[in-house]
Copies of this chain bind each other. A is one copy, B any other.
Amino acid sequence: MSAAAEGRPPAAAAAAAGEMVREATAWCALHGLVVGDRADPRSGTVPGVGLVHAPFSLLPTHLPESHWRQACELAPIFNELVDRVSLDGDFLQDSLSKTKQVDDFTSRLLEIHRKMMEINKEENIRLGLHRSDYMLDSETNSLLQIELNTISASFPGLGSLVSELHRTLIDQYGHLFCLDSKRVPGNEASSQFAKALARAWNEFNVDSAVIMMIVQPEERNMYDQYWLAKHLKESYPFMLFLSSTCPLTIHYTWHNDYQENFVRDGKTVSVVYFRAGYTPNDYPSEAEWAARLLLEQSSAVKCPSISYHLVGTKKIQQELARPKVLERFLENKEEITKIRKCFAGLWSLDDEEIVKSAIQKPELFVLKPQREGGGNNIYGIDVRETLIRLQKEGGDALAAYILMQRIFPKASLSNLVRGGVCHEALTISELGIYGAYLRNNDKVVMNEQSGYLMRTKVSSSDEGGVAAGFAVLDSLYLTDKAM
């Protein structure tokens, strides 16, 4: 394959890069591929001010088509798996019993979950909007799962736009790089998520009911959410859409009829879509926990329910990776094999052998705390030091973490554009596959792969997250060969 096709632009292409960057950032401004600029103190609370283009990769990241297909095939299987696991309340409680001792956040979630078990709360309509994140391990040339997000999976809106941006740029400049825009897969993540929310509303079957999106009071990524709202409003005009700006301290009136409906502003809420509530910061007082409980008790479809939320924890990810656990939830052996193939090594810290290995060769492991939100993973020499400290502390201290095999994706040169400036950097990429699942009792209404998100970050940085400023939004370019 030519150098150009591998992303190293020839001279003509390099000369066009400056013009491309201007074209691309202008495209972002015209097409709503924007975020709040942290330099503007109002940009997270007032829409339309302090806008800046979302950071992006100038060209899409190459991915072998076989791995793309593999990731897409996994989406409906993971969707189904989440649903099955969510129904096994005892499994969730047991698996997380030690985590509960050391992590207050998980403990509070489990408490709500336990209360629902006590009243035999049934969720007949179950909606999941997930994102399963993968990296391509260069040692084994295999796609390995990093994590499965079952709450507030972000960037369905902006991610779709990046694919469109890349197609547009390739249509205009692709000949310089020997690229063909048809090799960038279509990405309808936000309209797919909107469709799933609308179908859940439909299953709820109350014409006057509304969908409520719960958001954080300050959110620089609000346009990702507004894109979803736009798709909902345009395609499903029969639904009023409420965006609660005051996150979990929602102003509610409790309509205590036999259906236990959740009512807001006089409207029954059919679906509660959480774009908040996934981090302890979203619960600054007891009021937010009370609201979360109230919502869970209501008849509204929760996306996610407390069970779905718990299935997405790292501890459950690790439990599912243990021998014979998948078999408890799935029958189809082919599906089990597919799922297991993408599991990286995952271990609980009560496995003394593996802790010993990790202290000896910390560079081969990642130490992951049970808390959510990213930015807390421990790498390299810190793995050793932390493990030794935790062992000394004794008791349940070790239960706050899990160990994961460290994945070594192949680094490649990318042009990252941020704040209107383009930087060439050695980067690694993470592929997220969105999945939408909707079930009403025995009827599976929807079980689909629903678009994707590529995130690319500077490889010398160990921490991810576009919001943290180390990573950019990206899309993908399908290639025939292995990377």
Interface residues of A (CB under 8 A from B): 22, 24-26, 28-32, 34, 37, 42, 46-53, 171-172, 222-223, 226-227, 230, 233, 237, 419-420
Residue with the greatest number of chain B CB neighbours at <10 A, chosen from A24, A48, A230, A419: A48
Question: Contacts A42-B420, A172-B233, A420-B42 known; A47 to B26 CB distance under 8 Å?
Answer: yes
* Shortest beta-carbon distance from A148 to chain B in Å: 29
Question: Contacts A49-B52, A52-B51 known; A26 to B222 CB distance under 8 Å?
Answer: yes
* Shortest beta-carbon distance from A474 to chain B in Å: 17
Q: Say yes or no: A47 contacts B223, CB within 8 Å.
A: no
A22-B47, A25-B47 provided; 15 other pairs, C-beta below 8 A? A24-B48, A26-B226, A28-B48, A29-B34, A29-B48, A29-B51, A30-B223, A30-B226, A30-B227, A37-B49, A37-B50, A42-B420, A48-B53, A49-B52, A51-B51
Q: Say yes or no: A52 contacts B53, CB within 8 Å.
A: no
User: Please, which residue of chain B has its CB at the minimum distance from the CB of A226?
Assistant: B26
Q: Say yes or no: A29 contacts B26, CB within 8 Å.
A: no
Listed A/B pairs (26) with beta-carbon separation below 8 Å? A22-B46, A24-B48, A25-B46, A25-B47, A25-B48, A25-B49, A28-B48, A29-B32, A29-B34, A29-B47, A29-B48, A29-B223, A29-B226, A30-B32, A30-B226, A30-B230, A34-B51, A37-B49, A46-B420, A47-B420, A48-B52, A48-B53, A48-B420, A49-B53, A49-B419, A51-B51
CA of A53 to CA of B32, assembled, Å: 11
User: Please, which residue of chain B has its CB at the minimum distance from the CB of A48?
Assistant: B25
Residue with the greatest number of chain B CB neighbours at <10 A, chosen from A50, A223, A237: A50
Q: Which residues of B contact A32 (CB under 8 A)?
A: 29-32
Q: Which residues of B contact A50 (CB under 8 A)?
A: 37, 52
CA of A230 to CA of B226, assembled, Å: 23
Q: Which residues of B contact A37 (CB under 8 A)?
A: 49-50
Q: Which residues of B contact A29 (CB under 8 A)?
A: 32, 34, 47-48, 51, 223, 226
CA of A47 to CA of B417, assembled, Å: 12
Q: Which residues of B contact A230 (CB under 8 A)?
A: 30
Q: Which residues of B contact A47 (CB under 8 A)?
A: 22, 25-26, 29, 420
User: Please, which residue of chain B has its CB at the minimum distance from the CB of A172?
Assistant: B233
* Shortest beta-carbon distance from A19 to chain B in Å: 9
User: Please, which residue of chain B has its CB at the minimum distance from the CB of A42?
Assistant: B420
CA of A24 to CA of B419, assembled, Å: 25
* Shortest beta-carbon distance from A246 to chain B in Å: 13
Q: Which residues of B contact A34 (CB under 8 A)?
A: 29, 51
Q: Say yes or no: A49 contacts B226, CB within 8 Å.
A: no
Q: Which residues of B contact A227 (CB under 8 A)?
A: 30
Q: Give me the 9 closest cross-chain CB pairs, A-B, nearest first.
A: A25-B48, A48-B53, A30-B32, A51-B51, A26-B47, A46-B420, A49-B420, A25-B47, A26-B226
